[in-house]
Amino acid sequence: MNMGNIIRSAHAFGASFVFTVNAFYSVRSAKSDTSKTPNHLPYYEWETVGDMAFPKGCQLVGIELTEDAIELPSFRHPLNAAYVLGPERGSLSGSMIERCDHIIKIPTSFCLNVQIAGAIVMYDRVKSLGNFSDRALMPGAPKEEKKPHQHGGRFLRSTKPRPVTTGPK
What CATH number is attached to the domain comprising 77?
3.40.1280.10
The answer as to whether 118 is a domain residue is yes
The answer as to whether 161 is a domain residue is no
Q: pLDDT digits over 80-115, tens only?
A: 999 999 887 789 999 999 999 999 999 998 889 999
The answer as to whether 147 is a domain residue is no
Q: pLDDT digits over 151-165, tens only?
A: 666 655 555 565 665
The answer as to whether 16 is a domain residue is yes
* Alpha helix stretches (DSSP H) within the chain: 2-12, 94-99, 114-129
Cβ atoms of 104 and 71 closer than 8 Å: yes
Question: What total of structural domains would you count in the chain?
Answer: 1
Range of the domain at 90: 2-129
CA atoms lying within 13 Å on the CB side of residue 93 = 9
User: What's the rounded Cα separation, in Å, for the pair 25 and 27?
Assistant: 6
Pairing assessment for the beta strands 70-71 and 43-46 based on DSSP bridges: unpaired
User: What's the rounded Cα separation, in Å, for the pair 33 and 157?
Assistant: 45
